[in-house]
Amino acid sequence: MKQFMGIADAHGVESFIEHDIKRLSLLIIRARANRQRHALVYTVSVGSAEEKKIKEYLMENKYIAALKYLKTLTTFAVEKSMIKIINYLPNPDLDTL
């Protein structure tokens, strides 16, 4: 199992990178700067099959499908303050609010 982190928003998964505590604060700053897209930072631990599937979605520009898949994984987590928001994502219509 590998641990990953990234940003998710109204349009799906924006980034999916190996967990690095040094980069976490940068992701948090980027997410907060994009509140209009309801951006948030997530973490997830995945096996090689799940990692491959997520990367395939992203290579095919299927960002919404990638987020929907990530949300099904039991190790998917977001900040406590973002739990309500993640229930509404992905939803590109939220970007206009």
pLDDT for residue 97: 56
Q: Which domain holds residue 26?
A: 2-96
Interatomic CA distance for residues 53 and 51, integer angstroms: 5
Cα radius of gyration (the chain): 12
Interatomic CA distance for residues 21 and 12, integer angstroms: 23
Interatomic CA distance for residues 58 and 64, integer angstroms: 9
pLDDT for residue 86: 95
Can you give the pTM of this predicted structure? 0.92
For residue range 63-91, list pLDDT tens digits in order: 999 999 999 999 999 988 899 999 999 99
Q: Which residues contact 85 (CB under 8 A, 6 or more apart)?
A: 38, 40, 78
Low-confidence ranges of the chain (pLDDT < 70): 96-97
Number of domains into which the chain is organized? 1
pLDDT for residue 48: 97
pLDDT for residue 37: 87
